[in-house]
């Protein structure tokens, strides 16, 4: 039996208090996400129900019940508290998709600190920028990533503790380093959670901007209200579901819907930590009997590329419901999934700043392949004229998406950057920075980003950050970075560079520069192509015109170039 009811019914008398009642929360109560996702589920009689089934390389597996999750998150919380970490201090999680990441997230929240999950493929420079902005007190990591922390530790006097969760004793620990084993530590039966309230900060996620440094998006414990209800109604999770969210908790999907959503509902979830291949993914679905699968368009397009024959070799009949997130899901992928899995991937639209699903296809709703469908109940959404910020009333006319800022999971600020945060609100609307149209039936259709941020495989990359790193390479004089179309990732990073005297353009140099960026920032930020130029297009005031380079890549009209310095 579906949780959803009809979309129209759900909209009729909607109020967020529906979730508050189901979670037994009243205004002014203590609300701690860590407790709600573990202790509360145990108190509901599900202590022995499986919470997490984890599979790593070589088929290694670990299983944890909700009682295990409760005890181990208590143990982590007590350990951090004993280190002297205070409420609202930032604790970074910097590791692969191992159980310690998921359970550690709850432990940090239980003791009142702010969880700062970061993608483990980040290089030392990307890591430093984000830790420095947050003035992070502690980082929880693993042996394979600690070398990145060591490279930058001298620049971070505020970072007091480097916790290594898989220390093997082979090499001595360095200053500020401490080992902690979640499974071997003495389990803490009772831990008094920090009495966080609705507006107490919970999570700090970093997202890329067009200019300047990445922005720390601050969420609060009250975000649980949105995350719980959207998980229940959109992902339609039910008591006996086996759920798989493929997102890494270094990104917001991996926390909102890879930890908080399913566990606040007491649902069993599975995690595969082996990287992507069509074969391993289908095997995992078959072996674990996955019923609800939440993935990303990049992965779906990669599966399409792998062909349909491989699907016939696996029993995927357990799948009941599929959804997608991170970037636009093209119509072909929706039609393909319906054909090969017997059900379509339902597209959902939201972002780090919104904290929960905003526009969505609902189970049972008419699907228009390629559309983001309609606002989640309780969300007021519209299309705004980019010049006047007034509502566009005529159908199919593109404009900026706008949301009325009144849902529980909305970010509360950008960390130490109130000015940029305030610019996101115009005329009483929150502006996510994407363009869309609305058709006559009220369905939203994505048009594109309104800025230069590159969405590669659902992950946002800041052109500014890549350009800055390129300039640190000994050969690069100037750099400009734009999105380039890509069949699988929708778009990838392309760099245009001019070289310093004494350096010759070559394939070897291109590889060298690419690897430099990969190590410094991350594989996602690494340019997939570097084009050497004698000069970059600039305005007369010397500003590089990314717009001209972007238009060239996408075969678009270049538009007005009267401000270009070499334009006569």
Residues 296, 315: Cα–Cα separation, whole Å: 21
In this prediction, residue 541 carries a pLDDT of 62
Look at residue 65 and give its three-state secondary structure: strand
CB 397 within 8 A of CB 385: no
CB 145 within 8 A of CB 177: no
> Quick one: tokens of 533?
């130029």
Asked if residue 484 belongs to a domain, the reply is: yes
In this prediction, residue 103 carries a pLDDT of 98
Domain C-terminal end among 402, 436, 470: 436
Residues 307, 64: Cα–Cα separation, whole Å: 35
> Quick one: tokens of 6?
């009809």
In this prediction, residue 85 carries a pLDDT of 98
Beta bridge partners of 374: 360
pTM of the predicted structure, to 2 decimals: 0.90
502 shares a domain with 416: no
Straight-line distance from the first to the last Cα atom of the chain, in angstroms, rounded to the nearest whole number: 68
Return the C-alpha torsion angle 290, 34, 47, 141, nearest 10. Answer: 70
Asked if residue 566 belongs to a domain, the reply is: no
Helix (H) or strand (E) holding 54: strand 50-55
In this prediction, residue 4 carries a pLDDT of 65
Asked if residue 414 belongs to a domain, the reply is: yes
- Look at 556 and 216; give whichever has higher pLDDT: 216
**Confidence class of residue 3 from pLDDT cuts 50, 70 and 90?**
low
Mean of per-residue pLDDT scores for the chain: 94
Residues 115, 103: Cα–Cα separation, whole Å: 12
| 559 has a pLDDT exceeding 70 | no
478 shares a domain with 531: yes
| CA distance readout (Å), 245 to 119, 258, 306 | 16, 6, 20
49 shares a domain with 161: yes
- Averaged pLDDT for residues 391-419: 96
380 shares a domain with 462: no
420 shares a domain with 360: yes
| CA distance readout (Å), 204 to 117, 212, 295 | 7, 18, 22
Helix (H) or strand (E) holding 553: helix 546-554
Tens of pLDDT along 430-458? 999 999 999 999 999 998 877 788 889 88
Asked if residue 97 belongs to a domain, the reply is: yes
155 shares a domain with 54: yes
- Residue 519, judged by CB atoms within 10 A of its CB (0-12, 13-18, 19+), counts as middle
In this prediction, residue 43 carries a pLDDT of 98
Q: Which domain holds residue 187?
A: 7-436
Tens of pLDDT along 231-270? 999 999 999 999 999 999 999 999 999 999 999 999 999 9
Give Dmax over CA atoms of the chain in angstroms. Answer: 76
540 shares a domain with 399: no
CB 527 within 8 A of CB 517: yes
Orientation angle between helical segments 507-520 and 124-134, nearest 10 degrees:
30
CB atoms within 10 A of CB 6: 12
C-alpha 427: how far from chain center? 28
Residues 369, 109: Cα–Cα separation, whole Å: 39
Domain C-terminal end among 436, 463, 485: 436
β-strand pairing of 321-324 with 268-272: unpaired
- Residue 36, judged by CB atoms within 10 A of its CB (0-12, 13-18, 19+), counts as buried
Residues 499, 485: Cα–Cα separation, whole Å: 25
522 shares a domain with 385: no
- Averaged pLDDT for residues 117-141: 97
461 shares a domain with 422: no
Residues 321, 313: Cα–Cα separation, whole Å: 20
Asked if residue 2 belongs to a domain, the reply is: no
235 shares a domain with 125: yes
Kindly report the CATH number assigned to the domain that includes residue 507.
3.30.300.30
- Look at 88 and 330; give whichever has higher pLDDT: 88
In this prediction, residue 540 carries a pLDDT of 65
> Quick one: tokens of 480?
């400009």
CB 76 within 8 A of CB 188: no
Q: Which of 24-38, 88-102, 387-401, 465-479 has the lowest mean pLDDT?
A: 465-479
Tens of pLDDT along 194-205? 999 999 999 999
> Quick one: tokens of 132?
């420095």
The candidate with the shortest Cα–Cα distance to 455, out of 525, 516, 388, 400, is 525
Residues 477, 500: Cα–Cα separation, whole Å: 5
Asked if residue 445 belongs to a domain, the reply is: no
Residue 82 phi/psi, 5-degree rounding, is: -65, -20
484 shares a domain with 419: no
3-state helix, strand, coil in the chain (%, to 5): 30, 25, 45
How many structural domains does the chain have? Answer: 2
The candidate with the shortest Cα–Cα distance to 159, out of 176, 144, 145, is 176
In this prediction, residue 562 carries a pLDDT of 45
- Look at 544 and 74; give whichever has higher pLDDT: 74
CB 162 within 8 A of CB 177: yes
**Confidence class of residue 210 from pLDDT cuts 50, 70 and 90?**
low
Tens of pLDDT along 409-432? 999 999 999 999 999 999 999 999
The candidate with the shortest Cα–Cα distance to 260, out of 511, 398, 69, is 69
Tens of pLDDT along 479-506? 999 999 998 888 999 999 999 989 999 9
Tens of pLDDT along 49-74? 999 999 999 989 999 999 999 999 99
**Which residue matches tokens 């109604």?**
233
C-alpha 256: how far from chain center? 9
432 shares a domain with 458: no
The candidate with the shortest Cα–Cα distance to 233, out of 1, 2, 18, 17, is 2
Beta bridge partners of 532: 497
- Averaged pLDDT for residues 466-470: 89
**Which residue matches tokens 């070559």?**
506
Residues 59, 138: Cα–Cα separation, whole Å: 31
Percentage of the chain beyond pLDDT 90 is 83
**Confidence class of residue 164 from pLDDT cuts 50, 70 and 90?**
very high
| 212 has a pLDDT exceeding 80 | no
CB 384 within 8 A of CB 429: yes
Angle at CA 243, nearest 5°, toward 240 and 249?
145
Asked if residue 568 belongs to a domain, the reply is: no
Which residue blocks in 297-443 are alpha helix, DSSP H? 297-306, 309-312, 331-341, 418-422
Domain C-terminal end among 404, 436, 468: 436
CB 51 within 8 A of CB 69: yes
CB atoms within 10 A of CB 211: 13
Kindly report the CATH number assigned to the domain that includes residue 264.
3.40.50.12780
Look at residue 245 and give its three-state secondary structure: strand
- Averaged pLDDT for residues 285-299: 96
Residues 136, 488: Cα–Cα separation, whole Å: 35
SS3 for 296-332 is: CHHHHHHHHHHCCHHHHCCCCCCCCEEEECCCCCCHH
Look at residue 75 and give its three-state secondary structure: helix
- Averaged pLDDT for residues 267-291: 97
| 567 has a pLDDT exceeding 50 | no
Asked if residue 503 belongs to a domain, the reply is: yes
């Amino acid at each position: 039996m579906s949780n959803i009811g009809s979309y129209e019914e759900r909209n009729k008398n909607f109020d967020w208090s529906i979730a508050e009642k189901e979670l037994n929360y009243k205004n002014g109560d203590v609300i701690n996400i860590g407790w709600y996702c573990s202790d509360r589920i145990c108190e509901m009689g599900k202590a022995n129900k499986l919470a997490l089934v984890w599979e790593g390389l070589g088929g290694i597996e670990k299983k944890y019940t909700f009682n295990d999750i409760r005890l181990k998150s208590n143990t982590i919380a007590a350990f951090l508290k004993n280190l002297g970490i205070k409420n609202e201090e930032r604790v970074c999680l910097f590791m692969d998709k191992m159980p310690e990441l998921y359970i550690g997230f709850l432990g940090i929240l239980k003791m009142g600190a702010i969880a700062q999950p970061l993608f483990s493929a980040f290089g030392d420079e990307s890591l430093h920028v984000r830790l420095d902005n947050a003035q992070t007190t502690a980082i929880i990591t693993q042996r394979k990533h600690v070398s990145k922390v060591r490279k930058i530790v001298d620049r971070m006097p505020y970072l007091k503790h480097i916790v290594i969760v898989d220390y093997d004793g082979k090499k001595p620990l360095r200053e500020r380093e401490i080992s902690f084993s979640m499974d071997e530590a003495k389990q803490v039966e009772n831990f008094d959670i920090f009495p966080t309230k609705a507006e107490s900060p919970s999570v700090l996620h970093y997202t890329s901007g067009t200019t300047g440094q990445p922005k720390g998006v601050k969420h609060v414990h009250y975000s649980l209200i949105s995350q719980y209800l959207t998980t229940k109604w959109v992902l339609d999770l039910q008591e006996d579901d086996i759920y798989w969210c493929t997102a890494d908790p270094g990104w917001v999907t991996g926390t909102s819907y890879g930890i908080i959503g399913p566990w606040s509902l007491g649902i069993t979830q599975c995690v595969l930590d082996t990287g992507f291949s069509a074969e391993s993914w289908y095997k995992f679905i078959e072996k674990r009997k996955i019923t609800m699968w939440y993935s990303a368009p990049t992965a779906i397009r990669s599966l399409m590329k792998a062909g349909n024959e491989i699907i016939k070799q696996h029993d995927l009949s357990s799948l009941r419901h599929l959804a997608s997130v991170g970037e636009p899901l093209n119509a072909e992928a929706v039609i393909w999934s319906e054909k090969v899995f017997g059900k379509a991937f339902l597209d959902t639209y939201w972002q780090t700043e919104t904290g929960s699903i905003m526009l969505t296809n609902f189970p049972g709703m008419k699907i228009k392949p390629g559309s983001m469908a309609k606002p989640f109940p309780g969300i007021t959404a519209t299309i705004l004229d980019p010049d006047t910020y007034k509502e566009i009333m005529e159908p199919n006319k593109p404009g900026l998406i706008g949301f009325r800022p009144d849902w529980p999971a909305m970010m509360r600020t950008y960390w130490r950057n109130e000015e940029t945060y305030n610019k996101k609100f115009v005329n009483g609307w929150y502006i996510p920075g994407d363009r869309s149209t609305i058709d006559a039936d009220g369905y939203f259709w994505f048009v594109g980003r309104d800025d230069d941020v590159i969405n590669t495989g659902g992950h946002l990359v800041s052109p500014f950050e890549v350009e800055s790193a390129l300039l640190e390479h000994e050969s690069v004089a100037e750099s400009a970075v734009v999105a380039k179309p890509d069949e699988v990732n929708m778009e990838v990073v392309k760099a245009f560079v001019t070289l310093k005297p004494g350096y010759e353009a070559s394939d070897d140099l291109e590889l060298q520069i690419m690897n430099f960026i990969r190590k410094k920032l991350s594989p996602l930020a690494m340019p997939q192509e570097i084009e050497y130029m004698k000069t970059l297009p600039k305005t007369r005031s010397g500003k590089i015109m990314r717009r001209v380079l972007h238009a060239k890549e996408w075969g678009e009209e270049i538009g007005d170039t009267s401000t270009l310095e070499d334009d006569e």
